[in-house]
């Protein structure tokens, strides 16, 4: 602050007025810097945390269906670039308006930057894919927006301070470029910082987009390659009678965004398909390193498989089904030559997670274990293991489903211990024969009279032969089963009861194709999976 001015500070500040063009530019620069920083940090930490893309996704998700249909039918695959350009226009207009409204006081601009920043944060947190580290990009973006706005706004207010009334000209005439001593004027500082901030924001925004795109363009390329590929084995079409979705069971195939997700990855690994390598070593005759191209050149098979998590409580929903595309793991191991005495495949993910899978299970000729690269017609989604994961039907995910696969050591059980085994879970864990009641829902009221109950049952890789249902401890009655797809997947059941008014409890027990009946013995998920007959209590009115 100049000390030569005789005018009190507050009048001075109140009289300062930033020219409209420059005020608008400050708004745009502040918001632009926020967007640029957000994109760059998101690309470095987690592509899912881009505040701009998260807001875009939220716009798509919360748009009324007719609007998204209109956009798809009129703009086709261009609907996303058009949405993003639209958002860019809105953001620039809002930022300029906020700048214009702040010609004297910073408050409108500060409020706008905070509101936009919070919108980005909210959209990231509410997204279907969210990990705790995802808050960094939107928070940092908000911070950068605020700092840049306050900085430029303060500089501009001081630069465009009018001459004190009746005072002598200051040593620094507004608009002048240098004072008598040849020092750089405030205006030069202002213009210089504006230009620098503009260039840095643009650079980080573009850099962030390019970085993020290298990941998604790798995924798109794999999706396109899978669409072109001739599959050696296609999953048979799912018959119409394979689920009772209209009665409350899940659909037979779980859409990728709805597929349950379990992992310990704070940050989703972002390796491209071309950078991917799998080293197979240890007790093998021939150590091998596979590339993604190696996988693509092998016969590709598509299999409908139900994946299950050991942490699923009785009645829980950590179970989903997809058409996985991949290559058979067994022939790869046979080519490498598994040595006698080998007991486990110790697999490690790009992010360091690891687990043990029994060698004899993976080598069973009919097991159908895969190195999976596709899921429901597209490349694996990032959160489900892109570019490559392991899938072994009949084993819980934690002892077989290594996502972001990068290393496979063939060894003995004693030599290596997996992430969850070291934390008290079993070293080996086949999936148990289980069932779940989806309708009626526990604690709900239903009209008395004829009542339809429905749910799911599973016993991979054997498959379900029967489900029995009873009400209020009465006789077990055989449920009607959905059309069987294969033993590696769940099967739905349904049955009807007549219910009078009052509280009732439904229970189920499943039997697999080997005749094994779901155990009544209750067990917690730890160490090797929950068990017990599910029971649902509801009220008929
Ligand atoms: N890299 C890695 N892979 C992993 C895990 C993990 O934490 N990290 N979790 C496993 C567990 S416990 C399960 S149940 C399955 C879940 O796979 P999904 O998220 O695709 O459903 O992945 C398995 N693979
Ligand atoms: Mo799991």
Give CA–CA dist 372/369, Å, rounded: 9
Tell me, using a 6 A CB cutoff, whether residue 384 lines ligand 1.
yes
Atom of ligand 1 nearest to the CA of 259: 21
With a 6 Å cutoff on the Cβ, whether 353 touches ligand 1 is yes
What mean pLDDT is reported for the chain? 90
pLDDT for residue 164: 62
Look up residue 430 and give its DSSP letter: B
Same domain, 393 and 458: no
**Claim to verify: residue 207 and residue 61 sit in the same structural domain:** yes
**Atom 13 of ligand 1, nearest CA residue:** 397
402-411 mean pLDDT = 97
Ligand 1 lined by 397 (C-beta under 6 Å): yes
pLDDT tens-digit profile of 44-74? Answer: 887 778 898 888 878 877 777 677 667 766 7
Query: Both 275 and 355 in a single domain?
Result: yes
Question: Per the domain annotation, does 169 fall within a domain?
Answer: no
| Atom 19 of ligand 1: nearest residue by CA position | 261
| 287 and 340 assigned to the same domain | yes
Q: Whose CA is nearest to atom 18 of ligand 1?
A: 261
| Ligand 1: residue whose CA is nearest its atom 2 | 403
pLDDT > 80? residue 8: no
CB of 507 closer than 6 A to ligand 1?
no
Q: What span, in angstroms and rounded, lies between the C-alpha atoms of 277 and 285?
A: 19
* CB of residue 389 inside a 6 A radius of ligand 1: no
193 and 315 assigned to the same domain: no
Q: Whose CA is nearest to atom 9 of ligand 1?
A: 263
Same domain membership, residue 198 and residue 136:
yes
Question: Looking at the domain assignment, is residue 173 inside a domain?
Answer: no
Q: How far is the CA of 222 from the centre of ligand 1 (A)?
A: 21
| pTM of the predicted protein model | 0.77
Q: Is residue 40 part of a domain?
A: yes
Q: Which pLDDT value is given to residue 183?
A: 60
Q: Does 454 have pLDDT greater than 50?
A: yes
| Best residue among 385, 403, 525 to mutate for probing ligand 1, ranked by most atoms within 8 Å of CB | 403
Q: Which residues contact 178 (CB under 8 A, 6 or more apart)?
A: 184, 185, 188
List CB contacts of 396: < 8 A, sequence separation 6 or more. Answer: 308, 309, 310, 429, 430, 431, 529
Q: pLDDT tens digits for 93-149?
A: 999 999 999 999 999 999 999 999 999 999 999 877 677 888 999 999 999 999 999
- Residue 386 CA to ligand 1 centre (angstroms): 12
Q: Is residue 419 over pLDDT 60?
A: yes
Are 341 and 272 in contact by the 8 Å Cβ rule? The answer is no
| Residue closest by Cα to atom 10 of ligand 1 | 398
Let me know whether 442 and 353 are in one domain. no
Query: Does a structural domain hold residue 226?
Result: no
Q: How confident is the model at residue 320 (pLDDT cuts 50, 70, 90)?
A: very high
Strand partners, 290: 278
| Atom number of ligand 1 nearest to Cα 308 | 14
Q: Is 30 helix (H, G, I), strand (E, B) or coil?
A: helix
Same domain, 70 and 194: yes
Domain that residue 522 falls in: 434-540
For every residue of 146-205, DSSP letters joined together read HHHHHHHHHHHHHHTPPPPTTPPPPSS-TT-SB-TT-PBPHHHHHHHHHHHHHHHHHHHH
Give me the mean pLDDT over the 279-302 stretch. 98
What pLDDT score does 4 carry?
47
């Amino acid at each position: 602050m100049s000390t030569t001015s005789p005018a009190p500070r507050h009048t001075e500040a109140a009289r300062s007025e930033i020219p409209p063009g420059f005020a608008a530019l400050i708004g745009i620069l502040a918001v632009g810097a926020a967007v640029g920083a957000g994109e760059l940090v998101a690309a470095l930490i987690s592509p899912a945390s881009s505040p701009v893309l998260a807001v875009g996704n939220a716009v798509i998700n919360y748009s009324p269906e007719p609007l998204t249909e209109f956009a798809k039918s009129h703009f086709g695959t261009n609907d996303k670039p058009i949405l993003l350009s639209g958002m860019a226009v809105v953001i620039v207009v809002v930022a300029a308006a906020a700048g214009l409204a702040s010609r004297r006081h910073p408050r409108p601009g500060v409020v706008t930057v905070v509101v936009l920043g919070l919108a980005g944060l909210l959209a990231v947190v509410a997204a279907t894919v969210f990990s705790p580290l995802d808050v960094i990009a939107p928070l940092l973006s908000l911070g950068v927006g605020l700092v840049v706005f306050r900085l430029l706004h303060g500089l501009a207010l001081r630069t465009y301070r009018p001459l004190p009334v009746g005072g002598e000209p200051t040593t620094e005439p507004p608009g002048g470029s240098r004072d008598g001593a040849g020092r750089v004027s405030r205006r030069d500082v202002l213009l210089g910082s504006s230009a620098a901030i503009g260039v840095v924001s643009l650079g980080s925004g573009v850099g962030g987009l390019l970085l993020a795109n290298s990941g998604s363009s790798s995924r798109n390329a794999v999706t396109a390659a899978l669409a072109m590929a001739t599959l050696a084995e296609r999953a048979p079409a799912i018959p119409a009678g394979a689920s009772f979705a209209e009665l409350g069971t899940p659909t037979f195939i779980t859409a990728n965004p709805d597929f349950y997700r379990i992992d310990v990855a704070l940050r989703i690994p972002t390796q491209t398909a071309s950078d991917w390598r799998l080293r197979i070593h240890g007790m093998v005759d021939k150590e091998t390193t596979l590339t993604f191209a190696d996988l693509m050149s092998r016969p590709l098979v598509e299999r409908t498989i139900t994946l299950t998590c050991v942490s699923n409580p009785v009645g829980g929903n950590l179970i989903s089904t997809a058409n996985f595309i991949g290559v058979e793991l067994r022939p790869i191991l046979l080519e490498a030559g598994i040595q006698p005495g080998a007991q486990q495949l110790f697999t490690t993910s790009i992010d360091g997670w690891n687990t043990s899978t029994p060698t004899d299970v993976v080598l069973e000729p009919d097991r159908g274990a895969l190195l999976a690269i596709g899921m429901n017609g597209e490349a694996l989604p990032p959160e489900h293991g892109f570019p490559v994961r392991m899938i072994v039907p009949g084993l819980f995910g934690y002892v077989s489903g290594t996502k972001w696969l990068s290393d496979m050591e063939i060894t003995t059980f004693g030599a290596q211990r997996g992430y969850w085994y070291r934390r008290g879970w079993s070293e080996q864990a086949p999936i148990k024969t289980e069932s779940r009641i989806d309708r009626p829902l526990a604690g709900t009221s239903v009209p008395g009279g004829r009542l339809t109950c429905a749910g799911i049952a599973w016993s991979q890789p054997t498959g379900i032969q029967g489900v029995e249902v009873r009400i209020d401890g009465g006789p077990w009655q055989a449920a009607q089963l959905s059309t069987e797809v294969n033993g590696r997947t769940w099967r739905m059941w349904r049955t009807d009861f007549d219910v009078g008014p009052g509280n009732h409890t439904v229970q189920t027990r499943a039997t697999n194709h080997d005749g094994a009946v779901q155990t009544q013995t209750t067990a917690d998920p730890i160490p090797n999976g929950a068990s017990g007959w599910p029971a649902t209590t509801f009220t008929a009115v």
